[in-house]
Amino acid sequence: MTKPSIAEASCADDYDPNSMPVDKARAFIHRFLEPLTAQLRVPIRDALGRVLASDVVSPVDVPSHRNSAMDGWAMRGADLRPDADTTLDEIGASFAGRPYAAPVGTGQCVRIMTGGVVPEGADTVVMQERAKARGTRVTFAAGARTGQNVRHAGEDLKRGAVALAKGRIVRPAELGLLASLGVGEVAVFRPLRVAFFSTGDELKSVGTALGEGEIYDSNRYTIHGMLRRLGCDVLDMGVVRDDPALLEAAFREAAANADVVITSGGVSVGEADFVKGLLGKLGEVVFWKIAMKPGRPLAYGRLQGAHFFGLPGNPVSVMVTFYQFVREALLRLMGADPVMPFPTFPATCTARLKKAPGRTEFQRGVLSRGPDGGWTVAPTGDQGSGILKSMSEANCFIILGDSVGNVEPGTVVEVQYLEGLV
């Protein structure tokens, strides 16, 4: 299937760049994302946070041998009388890592510990709580079932079966699983290279003094943090002034050196006009006013082979648009599969929220356990899109859908917990 061009797709019937619903913008972007293919082999510890580039096939059976699920005795199930006690002779012991080497015959049993190899001949384990030993004579209570408490080789995972599928993000559990299979190296996709810069004549970098009307560039720091958390390789290109020649040079350099280019600022009305022309010349970019708050202006497209996200300038808008659009897109480009939308769940709002219908709002909230054990949420003070403190104090987004109006205390709202997302 050939992909439509971004410009063509933007001409779709229901496409309205002046009021693009959040879900539609997200779906649109996803049509243009093709995951990385380049991969490298790394020792498993270095794979943490990376995406597996091929299926990991188990080289062994898990468990590797028939073993006991209990501390007790192993014997032939046929020796145990179903409706009366049975007494057998203990002939040895099988401990984890120290198997009993000989077969178990009729009338015999072997002391066995959890994980111990079930000796040849035996097929059943009776746990010690159902047995009484007097010297080497061991009596077992009635009611045992042949085959009980025995874990079979390959029961958890058969040799040759896919243990971890391509596209899986490696977390601590995957590291442990790989190690349990004796796998010391895996193929992962190479890290995604992301170049970013801030635009604006008013911006100064940390470490320099502010002149009148100037502010510190904070977006480069939040963007750095959000990208590093995702495991991207970052190329911080600093602040670029609102000057067409400088911007063009920056866009070209970014696109030449990265898989993805992210900018902040310069996409609001007025400013967008000249950036639009510039990006039209360098690639294929669409400009949207997303029906959301904060984060209305957003540009997305291709820039000479790189993916491009033009985020708004306001610091909170940058973070909200990153988490609602860019994060998922980057994970997909990194080769992650599936990419789940970050989950939302209901919580009772304890305060009144101001909200106009017609757009989706991402207010910043603090989620806590209410007195009855349910989740409650309260907004973090002033919700202005320039107020980073509201993001810093928050542990969740309160997501108020398009049709929602003002929210009264006691209303159930959708929240998105930020831990794990940020």
Q: Give the binding-site size for ligand AMP (rule: CB under 6 A).
A: 18
Residue 323 φ/ψ, nearest 5 degrees: -70, -30
**In terms of CB distance, is 202 or 233 closer to ligand AMP?**
202
310 lines the binding site for ligand AMP (CB under 6 A): no
Binding mask 192-211 for ligand AMP (x = CB under 6 A): ------x-x-xx--------
Distance CA 307, CA 112 (A): 60
Least distance CB 226 / ligand AMP (angstroms) = 14
Binding mask 213-252 for ligand AMP (x = CB under 6 A): --x-xxx---------------------------------
Binding mask 239-278 for Mg ion (x = CB under 5 A): --------------------------x-------------
215 contact choice in Mg ion, ligand AMP, none (CB below 5 to 8 Å, kind-dependent): ligand AMP
Whose CA is closest to 266, among 306, 311, 230? 311
Q: Which amino acid is at 334?
A: M
Near ligand AMP in 257-296, by CB under 6 A: 264-268, 271
Distance CA 253, CA 347 (A): 45
- Work out which of 313, 335, 365, 379 binds ligand AMP, going by CB under 6 A: 313
Q: Give the binding-site size for Mg ion (rule: CB under 5 A).
A: 3
- The structure tokens listed for 41 are 């082999």
Q: Could you tell me if 170 and 50 are in contact, meaning their C-beta atoms sit under 8 angstroms apart?
A: yes
**In terms of CB distance, is 75 or 387 closer to ligand AMP?**
387
Largest CA distance in the chain: 95
Q: How many helices (H) and strands (E) does the chain have?
A: 9, 26
Q: Which residue is nearest to ligand AMP (CB)?
A: 313
- The structure tokens listed for 217 are 């560039």
- Work out which of 167, 294, 295, 315 binds ligand AMP, going by CB under 6 A: 315
- The structure tokens listed for 59 are 């080289």
315 lines the binding site for Mg ion (CB under 5 A): no
200 lines the binding site for Mg ion (CB under 5 A): yes
Q: Could you tell me if 129 and 22 are in contact, meaning their C-beta atoms sit under 8 angstroms apart?
A: no
Q: Could you tell me if 51 and 22 are in contact, meaning their C-beta atoms sit under 8 angstroms apart?
A: no
Q: Could you tell me if 286 and 308 are in contact, meaning their C-beta atoms sit under 8 angstroms apart?
A: no
Distance CA 295, CA 297 (A): 6
Least distance CB 291 / ligand AMP (angstroms) = 18
Least distance CB 196 / ligand AMP (angstroms) = 10
* Region near Mg ion per CB under 5 A, out of 164-172, 244-252, 313-321, 342-350: 313-321
- How many CB atoms lie under 10 A from the CB of residue 7? 12
Least distance CB 313 / ligand AMP (angstroms) = 2
Whose CA is closest to 349, among 363, 331, 359, 332? 363
Q: Which amino acid is at 402?
A: D
Distance CA 379, CA 368 (A): 11
Near ligand AMP in 14-53, by CB under 6 A: none
**In terms of CB distance, is 154 or 266 closer to Mg ion?**
266
Binding footprint of ligand AMP on the chain (CB under 6 A): 198, 200, 202-203, 215, 217-219, 264-268, 271, 312-315
Binding footprint of Mg ion on the chain (CB under 5 A): 200, 265, 313
